[in-house]
Structure 1
Amino acid sequence: MSLKKAIGIIVLILLIDQISKIYIKTNFALGESVEVFGWFKILFVENKGMAWGVELPGSYGKLFLTLFRLFAITAIGYWLYDSVKKKSSKILIVAIALIFAGAFGNIIDSVFYGIIFNESVYQGEVASFMPEAGGYAPVFHGHVVDMLYFPMIDTTWPEWVPWLGGDRLSFFDPVFNIADSAITIGVLLLIIFNKKAFPKKPVTAKEIATEEISE
C-alpha cells in the first residue's frame, strides 16, 4: 500500500473527526444530548485528560499529557513511513494510519481548541469560534470534544441481587469521538489480524546452513 493512500485515509478521518467536533462545539451546550435511537445518543461532553476521562493533576499535568501525545504521534508517524517503505502488509499500514489519524485528531483538540473556542457551559450558550474575548485556555491546554454515546443498557439491578440490588446497571457508559473510534479500530485490526499484520519471514537456506554450522 502506498504512502499516498495511507495519507488519504488519515485526511478523510481527520476531516470527519474535526467537522463533527466543531459542529458539536458550536451548536450544543455542554451536556446537551439528542437521541438518535434508543441505544444511541449524541451527547456533548469534554474530556480534559486521557481515555475514559482520566486526568493528570494540575495544569502541568495537562501540558505533559499533550507533549506526550505529540511525542507518541511522531513515533507512530515514523512507524507508518517505515512500514510503507518496507512494503509491509496492507492491513498493518491501514491500522497504523487509523491509529495515527485518531491520535492526531485528539491532539488538534488539546493543542488548539483552548485558543479558538470560548468555554462551553452546562445549560448555557453554545461556544463560538474565534471569540473576540479570546479562548478558554492557553495553547496545549484544550479539552477533547466527545459526542458518541451508546447507552445500550440503562436499568437497575434486580432487588434480589446481593449488594447491587436497586443500583444502576448500565452498558456502555463511555462517551467518545470519531478519533477514538479510529484508534480502537486500528488496534483491533492489529489484534485480530496479527498474523497478517506481522507475517513471519520465511527462513532462507543460507540461514539454516548458518545455524547448522554454528551448532
Structure 2
Amino acid sequence: MSKKALAILTILIAIVLDQVIKIYVKTHFILGEEVLVFDWFRIHFVENNGMAMGFEFGGKTGKLFLTLFRIVAVGLIIYWLSNNIKRKVHNAVIIGISLIFSGAVGNIIDSVFYGVIFDHPKHSVATLFPETTDGEFFYGKVVDMFYFPIWEGILPDWIPFVGGEMYTFFQYIFNPADSYITIGVALLFIFSKQAFPKEEKKETKTVDA
C-alpha cells in the first residue's frame, strides 16, 4: 500500500467511526445520561463548545474564532501530511499525522454542522435531520462520551493545594476525535527522529593557498 493510500484509508476510517459513534450517542442518549460498562469505564453523554477539557471562552464570538482557527489548522496539517508523504517517511508518522488531521476534522464537523442537522431537546434524545431546528451553522456543540473514572478517592493531606479533597482520575470526558489527536501526537513523539529529522550540516572544504 502506498503512503498516500495509507493516509487516505486512515482518515476515512477514523472520521467515519468518530461520526457514527457521536451520532449514535446523540440520537440514543439524553444529555447527561450515563451507561456503566465497567466500574472504570462509562459512556456519559455531554456536550461542549469545543475547547479542550470543556474549557470555554468568549461566548459565541470565541466559539466562532475557535472553529475558524481549527479550519485553518486543518489546512496546515494537510500541507504537513502531503510533504511527509513525498518524503516517504515511516508509516507510523503518516498514520500519526493522519490521526491528528482526522481528530481535528471530526470535531470541526460537530462545530459546523451539528447545530443545524440535529434538534436540541433538553429532556429527550435528539433527532437527526429534523424538520425544524433553532441551531446555526458554526455554532454546534461537540459530542463527548468516553469517561474513565479509574480511581476516585480523597487525596493525602500532604499534597499542596488539593490535599484532603475528593479527586477523580481520569475525570475528563472525551470523544474518538480527541483520542485520535492524542494517539497521533504519541506516535510522532515515539517516531520523532523520522517525523522531525535534523538537517545534516554540509561540510565545507577549505583549499590552502
Shift of residue 86, structure 1, vs aligned partner = 2.2
| Distance of aligned partners of 1:214 and 1:41 in 2 relative to their CA distance in 1, 3 Å threshold | farther
Residue 117 of structure 2 is matched in structure 1 by 116
Query: Map of 1:1-215 to 2, 5 A cutoff?
Result: 1-121=2-122, 124-134=123-133, 136-157=134-155, 164=162, 166-200=164-198, 207-208=202-203, 211-213=204-206
- Count of aligned pairs between the two proteins: 207
- CA 1:182–1:161 in 2, change beyond 3 Å: closer, same or farther? closer
Q: Is the 8 A contact 1:90 1:197 kept in 2?
A: no
| Separation in 2, partners of 1:177, 1:162 | 31
Give unmatched runs, 5+ long, in structure 1: none
Matches of 2:194 and 2:86, distance apart in 1: 17
Is the 8 Å Cα contact of residues 73 and 104 (structure 1) preserved in structure 2? yes
Shift of 1:196: 3.1
Q: CA 1:160–1:88 in structure 2 vs 1: closer, same or farther (change >3 Å)?
A: closer
Native 8 Å contact 1:41 1:148 kept in 2: yes
Per-residue CA deviation, residues 11-53 of structure 1 (Å, 9 max, x unaligned), is: 0011110000000000001110001111000000002131111
Q: Aligned with 1:44: secondary structure? A: strand
1:181-209 superposed Cα distances (whole Å, 9 cap, x missing partner): 00000001111221233344566xxx32x
Q: Which amino acid aligns with 2:179?
A: S
Going from structure 1 to structure 2, the CA distance change for 1:165 and 1:52 (only over 3 Å counts) comes to closer
Matched position secondary structure for 1:42:
strand
Q: TM-score, normalised by structure 2?
A: 0.90
| Contact kept? 1:115, 1:137, Cα under 8 Å | yes
Question: SS where residue 14 of structure 2 aligns?
Answer: helix
CA distance in 2, matches of 1:50, 1:164: 24
The alpha-carbon deviation at position 158 of structure 1 amounts to 5.7
Deviation at 1:6, TM superposition (A): 0.6
Identity, % of aligned pairs? 50
The one-letter amino acid paired with 1:127 is A
Q: Which amino acid aligns with 1:142?
A: G
> Which amino acid in structure 2 is aligned with residue 144 of structure 1?
V
CA contact (8 A) 1:155 1:169 kept: yes
Distance change >3 Å, CA 15–CA 58, structure 1 → 2: same
SS in 2 for 1:93: helix
Q: CA RMSD in A?
A: 2.2
Change (3 A) 1:165 1:180: closer
Taking a change above 3 Å as real, the CA distance of residues 116 and 166 of structure 1, as seen in their structure-2 partners, is same
Task: Provide TM-score, normalisation by structure 1.
Answer: 0.88
